[in-house]
């Protein structure tokens, strides 16, 4: 309890397929400060080492639902940065 | 709906048939041995699994509410070889019109909305994540009509 009270609020970021390879990880915890929208999260990811190859208008999801860049995000949310889909 | 085990179309069909449903359609997508002129030896599917399961559930619900049909679908994850079933859909309805329409709707929407990705392996040992947005689009009839030669 004390630990969760003192740790800074974060937003969990999930990366997949080519984007996970570019960033070298499948999950990140970003400090939530300054991250108001899913688009803010995408911009933060694109600024990370290896993030330049992430599409500026790529698909996003917030808490398992596809979401536009203007979708609001809050600490504790899971934001997924999705490469172009290729199922089927 | 997502599985790492081989897909059996008959098992999907058995889940949708019923005495009131006289029309059954199905679609199976198999791993092809070529892609854009390159020889493919196999591929690997990966997914945002929690979201993919949720979206597949939405697709099934919306299809069954749009047409009077029962549907089932399954998508493979992991490493596959040429000829493996990657995705399968089964639809049963009273008549063929709704069974064909619902089956077509399901595969098109699955490809458009379900967060799944595939990495192709080629016979020269290289591997590439497939990006449908960068592939050459087929020439449309309208474009053919505009360019006489």
CB contact under 8 A, B48 and A61: yes
- In angstroms, the Cα distances linking B25 to A70, B96, B101, B142 are 40, 8, 9, 31
CB contact under 8 A, A88 and B75: yes
Assembly ipTM: 0.91
Domain ranges of chain A: 31-83
Looking at the predicted structure, is the pLDDT value of residue A50 above 80?
yes
Predicted local confidence at residue B109, as pLDDT: 97
Q: Is residue B147 part of a domain?
A: no
CB contact under 8 A, A88 and B47: no
Q: Is residue B48 part of a domain?
A: yes
Q: Give B109→chain A minimum CA distance, Å.
A: 10
**Which of B105, B110, B117 to probe the A interface (max A CBs under 10 A)?**
B117
Predicted local confidence at residue A5, as pLDDT: 56
Span B94-139, pLDDT tens digits: 999 999 999 999 999 999 999 999 999 999 999 999 999 887 544 4
- Give the pTM: 0.89
User: Which of A18, A61, A85 comes nearest B116 by C-beta?
Assistant: A85
Please count the structural domains in chain B: 1
Q: Is residue B139 part of a domain?
A: no
Q: Domain of B83: which CATH number?
A: 3.90.1170.40
C-beta separation of A46 from A56 below 8 A = yes
Q: Which residue is it, tokens 């597949």?
A: B56
Q: What is the mean pLDDT of chain B?
A: 91
Looking at the predicted structure, is the pLDDT value of residue B76 above 90?
yes
**Structural domain containing residue B88:** 2-131
Q: Is residue B142 part of a domain?
A: no
Q: What is the mean pLDDT of chain A?
A: 94
CB contact under 8 A, A88 and B29: yes
């Amino acid at each position: 309890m004390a630990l969760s009270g003192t740790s800074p609020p974060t937003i969990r970021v999930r990366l997949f397929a080519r984007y996970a390879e570019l960033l070298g990880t499948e999950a990140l915890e970003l400090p939530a400060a300054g991250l108001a929208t899913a688009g803010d999260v995408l911009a933060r990811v694109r600024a990370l080492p290896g993030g330049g190859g992430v599409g500026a208008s790529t698909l996003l999801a917030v808490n398992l639902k596809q979401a536009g860049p203007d979708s609001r995000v809050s600490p504790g949310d899971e934001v997924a940065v999705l490469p172009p889909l290729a199922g089927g | 709906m997502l599985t790492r085990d081989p897909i059996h179309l008959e098992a999907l069909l058995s889940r949708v048939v019923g005495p009131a449903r006289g029309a059954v359609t199905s679609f199976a997508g198999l791993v092809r041995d070529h892609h854009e002129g390159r020889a493919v030896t196999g591929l690997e599917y990966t997914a945002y699994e929690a979201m993919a399961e949720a979206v597949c559930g939405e697709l099934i619900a919306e299809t069954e509410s749009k047409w009077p049909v029962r549907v089932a679908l399954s998508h493979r994850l992991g490493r596959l070889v040429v000829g493996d079933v990657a995705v399968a859909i089964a639809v049963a309805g009273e008549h063929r019109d709704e069974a064909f329409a619902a089956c077509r709707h399901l595969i098109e929407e699955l490809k458009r909305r379900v967060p799944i990705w595939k990495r192709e392996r080629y016979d020269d040992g290289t591997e590439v994540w497939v990006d449908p947005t960068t592939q050459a689009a087929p020439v449309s009839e309208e474009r053919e009509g505009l360019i006489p030669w």
